Structure 1
Amino acid sequence: MDTKEVLSKILSEISAQVSSINEEQINQFKKAIMTAKHIFLAGTGRSGLMISAFANRLMHLGFDVSLITEISKPKANLGDLLILGSNSGETQSLIAYAHQAKALGVKIILFTTNSNSSLAKLADNIVAIPIKVFELNQPMGSTFEQLSLLTYDSIIYSLMTELQQTPELMKSRHANIE
């Protein structure tokens, strides 16, 4: 199979998943973002990279955000939000973060394929990203990671509209020391 053929199959497989995403879960997630005092985000591996990209765009929208792994993150408080991205919902470091956040009264939202996971049981809300493989068998969690990034970007676009943010305004918040 050549690269363009594989890419086409990947895009078809991702597109086939979209109808299984629950819009009400997304709406609850957006509401939690808009009402949070501070937003903390965490994921590991490639899911962590996707959630880092989401954190970056939330910052461009003007939200106060921190990755849990940043040394400069502020103290968590009541009214804050922790967003976790985990394909399996069983990542031990994320479970530890969730327990700590729960003890502090921080709201937890989980992006996952596993609605019955340990993390799902700790979360206040979940956004289930059910993955059904039709043709390709991409390595590990690739389809989840790809769909997560696209879902995060779709949420950013939706929030842009709701908050009346323009790409120009977002760009004004872009890093200028790179």
Structure 2
Amino acid sequence: MQLVKEAMEKISRHVIDVSSSLDSKSIEKLIEELLNAQKIFVFGTGRSGLVAKAFAMRLMQLGLNVYVIGETISPPTEKNDLIILVSGSGETHSVVFAAQVCRKIGTKIVGVTSDSNSTLAKYSDLIITLKGGNKYRKNAEWKIAPLGTLFEITAMVFFDAIVAELMSRKGMEEETLRKRHAIIE
């Protein structure tokens, strides 16, 4: 039981530490891109993909036109669309491939990764770096947060914080989002 509390405290501290190291200009640029995009796409695999899908759900509830890459109802990405690619390592093959394809067609690419020197970062127009371990790089807290846990949790909190900022800028209350929440679950 003690390890559970210790893990929660260390993970929470990690998120706070990362929040203080975020680049304000990059965050502002991301928010502007989200507010101005005709279509927004998100993509990641594994747990990073789940985080991306959770973000897409909130963006939809904000009234934004958002799709998850790989879903059968997603339209093709086009020039000037926005894609947010999530990969802790920045080396996940399918995510890097998506970045390569989007680069060729002119889609604006936001890479969310723990490694600002990764392949994903090199293809990105905007890089959001959220420090944390990944499946290739052991972090100092690997016993309580193995593999990409710190990145994934930090990304989830980061995206929810972006949603809070978007709600504020759009003058939305929780009730507005609730009206767009699924009624059949």
How far residue 16 of structure 1 moved from its aligned partner, in angstroms, is: 2.2
How far residue 135 of structure 1 moved from its aligned partner, in angstroms, is: 5.9
Q: Check 1:169–1:102 CA distance in 2 against 1; reply closer, same or farther (3 A cut).
A: same
Which letter does structure 2 place at the counterpart of 1:97?
Answer: A
Aligned residue for 1:35?
Answer: 36
Within the candidate set 147, 171, 174, 2:178 is matched to 171
Which letter does structure 1 place at the counterpart of 2:153?
Answer: Q
Q: Aligned runs of 1:84-95 on 2, under 5 Å?
A: 84-95=85-96
Q: Which runs of 5+ in 1 are unaligned?
A: none
Q: Report if the CA contact (8 A) 1:43-1:94 is conserved.
A: yes
After TM superposition, what 4+ stretches of structure 1 lie above 4 angstroms from structure 2? Answer: 132-135
Q: Aligned runs of 1:19-34 on 2, under 5 Å?
A: 19-34=20-35
Q: Check 1:107–1:134 CA distance in 2 against 1; reply closer, same or farther (3 A cut).
A: closer
Q: Aligned runs of 1:23-172 on 2, under 5 Å?
A: 23-131=24-132, 136-137=141-142, 138-172=145-179
How far residue 130 of structure 1 moved from its aligned partner, in angstroms, is: 2.2
Q: TM-score, normalised by structure 2?
A: 0.90
Which letter does structure 1 place at the counterpart of 2:180?
Answer: R
Deviations 1:43-70 (A, max 9, x none): 1111111111000000000011111010
Deviations 1:52-105 (A, max 9, x none): 100000000001111101011012222210100111111110111111111221
Deviations 1:153-172 (A, max 9, x none): 00000000001111111111
Q: In 1, distance between residues paired with 2:104 and 2:62?
A: 29
Q: Aligned residue pairs: how many?
A: 178
Q: In 2, distance between residues paired with 1:35 and 1:6?
A: 39
How far residue 145 of structure 1 moved from its aligned partner, in angstroms, is: 0.5
Which letter does structure 2 place at the counterpart of 1:173?
Answer: R
